[in-house]
Amino acid sequence: MARHVVYAQPSLRSSTTWTPALVRTALRSADSGHLRTVASLCDWILEDERYATLFETRATNLLGLDVYFEKSQRRRQDRGGRQQPQPIVRALEDDGDFWTIWPEDQAQQIITWGLLLGACPFQLVYPNSEDGNGRVVPSAQFWHPQHLRWETRKRTWLTKVGDANDEVEVVPGDGTWGMFTPYGKHRPWAAGRWRGLSRWRLLKSYAIDDWGRHGENASKTVAKDVSGKSTREQRKELAADLSRCTRDAIVALPPGFNMKLLEATANTRDIYLAQIEAADAAGTIGILGQNLTTQVDGGSLAAAKVHAGVSDQRTKFDAESESTLLHGQVLPWYAEINYGDRRQAPWPVRDTEPKADLAAKATVLYTVSQAVERFERVGLSLDREALTAEYGIQFAEPDAAPTPDPSSSQKPQQRGALPCGAPRAAAGFVEGQTYTDALTGRCAQRGAEALTAFVGDMLKLVDGIEDIDDARQALVDFYGAALEPEDLAEKAERLWVLGQLAGMASVRQDAPELDAETPP
């Protein structure tokens, strides 16, 4: 192929001491299409290690994901009827052409500046010869936006090239140039993150500088003439001597002078620290869309899920922007040069689906299994196909009831008994019988607990009772005048019967042979 033109970037210059007035100047120059000042401002923003790391996180969250390619409509099938990937897809994935076209170091800068400034140009650099597989694979190279400007009248991008600062037109997608504009092509710089970050970066810069100066001036050595008899020349000479003193110097003061250390007492540290923390939090929210790692206190699971969802949405946006950029401006030229058809260019797709939470999935499956078991026990019908589709649960076929053997000598089951051999078919019966047994046992236990004290008292009254009159008198002595005559008669009869039963029990315990001789 013919040798492709590769432009050299001009040298960069950035030595501005930023002030609020210069930041406003950058805003005005951006609106006129001149991005040199704004790009210098973005360089200054990225000098802050916090903001630079946040943009790096945003870019690496995308570039660290697996990439695959959605095949175009032209696909061939093998003899078995299975669809085979296009040769261009195999070359991009298996042979690694994609990482030559979109190297991580260059892609990270392009993505960072596209998000920060709103527009980032890059140049496609072609090799002078084909690779070992007979393909020509271009490589995207970051182009600093400081050389870029928007020509308002011609509606075109222009950039300076070479040390002579000649200007050439930048046509995104022409095979030589590309332009990453994630927020749209119309005035893309207006939506860049630099507008909000510049003010916070300025506040943070002032706080750091003021904090440093405060540290330098936190204490001063002051010499004072306590006699009031020194001359101006003597005081100037003493001040000059003190300024020339080295660390840990020993000073001998003239007569009539004393020296003391004057220290700042105000706790201004909190002021500077609050400004820096506010700037860091604002930058984190502006870049990542969440500030979980710096602002959320405690182990809030709900907050973690919300913030993780915000991060996932930002990553999905970046992945879609990258896919549109590469499919529209880069891969068509790779497809045309190597395969003769731009329409074969596939869509690069990042796997942005969040990883499954296995612990949460296990909890859901356990809860569903418990619900299914209880529903079936009470006889409710379930749509097993829907549960399988929703939760991936595979139901086993119910055990079949055994066929009764006519020659069997087993007695027929009584009505209401559990059908042996078919526990699944009698799940409702098992549930009901289990519940009835448990309820009966519990009621018996509670009844016994409630009657224990009363029965104990009645057994004490039984001793010495000879007839029903004795029983009535014992109750009157026990309850006093609290019983009505009808209640007294009923309880006296019950107590007399209890005494008779107690006597019978004693006889049977002492002479069990009598109980054995009792006819059935």
Give the Cα separation of 48 and 37 in Å (integer): 18
Summarize the confidence of residues 409-416 as an average pLDDT: 44
User: Are 66 and 185 within 8 A, CB to CB?
Assistant: no
Residue 181 within any structural domain of the chain = yes
> Among 69, 119, 105, which residue's Cα sits nearest to residue 335?
69
Give the range among 3-17, 173-187, 211-225, 364-378 with minimum mean pLDDT: 211-225
Same domain, 330 and 475: no
Highest mean pLDDT, choosing among 160-164, 302-306, 488-492? 160-164
pLDDT of residue 120: 97
3-state SS of 368-381? HHHHHHHHHHCCCC
Q: Which of these three, 350, 383, 403, is where a domain ends?
A: 350
Average pLDDT of the residues in 311-340: 93
Pairwise pLDDT comparison (519 vs 22), residue with the higher score: 22
SS3 state of residue 172: strand
pLDDT at position 412, please? 46
Question: Is there a single domain that holds both residue 121 and residue 73?
Answer: yes
Average pLDDT on 151-169 reads 90
Q: pLDDT-based confidence at 176, cuts 50/70/90? A: very high
Identify the residue with better confidence: 297 or 446.
Answer: 446
**145 & 90 share domain:** yes
513 within domain boundaries: yes
Work out the end-to-end distance of the chain between its first and last CA atoms, rounded to an integer number of angstroms: 118
Instruction: Among 293, 326, 350, identify where a domain stops.
Output: 350
What is the sign, positive or negative, of the torsion defined by CA atoms of 129, 135, 136, 139?
Answer: negative
- Residue 513 and residue 472 in one domain: yes
Distance CA 375, CA 364 (A): 16
Q: Encoding tokens for residue 309?
A: 């969802």
168 in a domain, yes or no? yes
Region 401-430: what's the mean pLDDT?
A: 48
19-33, 37-51, 224-238, 332-346: which has the minimum mean pLDDT?
Answer: 224-238
Instruction: Give me the pLDDT at residue 375, please.
Output: 78
pLDDT at 82: 45
467 part of a folded domain: yes
Per mean pLDDT, which range of 71-80, 376-385, 473-482 is the poorest? 71-80
- Between 178 and 449, where is the model more confident? 178
| pLDDT band for position 259 (cuts 50, 70, 90) | confident
The domain of 515 spans: 463-520
Give residue 63's region: left, alpha or beta (phi > 0; psi -120 to 50). Answer: alpha
Based on the domain organization, do 331 and 476 belong to the same domain?
A: no
Query: Can you give the pLDDT at residue 5?
Result: 80
User: Does 150 lie in the same domain as 113?
Assistant: yes
Nearest-CA neighbor of 307 among 286, 287, 293? 293
Distance CA 102, CA 456 (A): 92
Q: Does 233 reside within a domain? A: no
Q: For the beta carbon of residue 88, count every other beta carbon within 10 angstroms.
A: 23
Give the range among 46-55, 203-212, 310-319, 511-520 with minimum mean pLDDT: 511-520
Asked if residue 316 and residue 187 are part of one domain, the reply reads yes
Determine the average pLDDT of the residues in 379-392: 78
Where a domain ends, among 391, 414, 441?
A: 391
Q: Mean per-residue pLDDT for 23-50?
A: 93
CA atoms of 262 and 241, how far apart (whole Å): 18
Q: What pLDDT does 511 receive?
A: 66
Per-residue pLDDT for 83 more than 90?
A: no
Mean pLDDT of 51-80: 78
- Does residue 35 sit within a domain? yes
Task: Note the pLDDT of residue 418.
Answer: 43
Rounded Cα distance, 468 and 242, in Å:
120
User: Residue 377 domain-assigned?
Assistant: yes
- The reply to whether 186 and 328 lie within a common domain is yes
Instruction: Give the least confident one: 19-33, 153-167, 168-182, 282-296.
Output: 282-296
d(CA 142, CA 66): 22
Mean pLDDT of 399-414: 48
Task: Tell me which range, 8-22, 338-352, 421-435, is most confidently predicted by mean pLDDT.
Answer: 338-352
Residue 53 in this model has a pLDDT that exceeds 50: yes
Same domain, 173 and 312: yes
Evaluate if residue 129 carries a pLDDT over 90.
no
Q: Identify the CA nearest to 38 among candidates 154, 152, 120.
A: 120
pLDDT, the chain, mean: 79
Total domains present in the chain: 3
Per-residue confidence (pLDDT) for residue 323, from 0 to 100: 95
Encode 398-435: b = buried (16+ Cβ within 10 Å), e = exposed.
eeeeeeeeeeeeeeeeeeeeeeeeeeeebbebebeeee
Phi, psi of 274 (to 5 degrees): -65, -40
Do residues 444 and 472 make contact, with C-beta atoms less than 8 angstroms apart? no
Cα–Cα distance measured from residue 15 to residue 10, given in angstroms and rounded to the nearest whole number: 16
pLDDT for 81 equals 43
Give yes or no: residues 344 and 383 share one domain: no
Region 358-377 average pLDDT? 76
Let me know if residue 102 belongs to a domain.
yes
d(CA 338, CA 133): 11
Whether residues 75 and 174 share a domain: the answer is yes
Task: Using alpha carbons, list the distances in angstroms from residue 258 to 26, 232, 263.
Answer: 53, 16, 16
What is the share, in percent, of the chain residues with pLDDT greater than 70?
75
Q: What is the mean pLDDT of residues 369-392?
A: 78
Residues 175-180 have a mean pLDDT of 96
Instruction: Quote the pLDDT of residue 211.
Output: 86
Contacts of 1 (CB under 8 A, 6+ apart): 126, 136, 337
Residues 383 and 473 in one domain: no
**What pLDDT, on a 0 to 100 scale, did the predictor assign at position 74?**
41
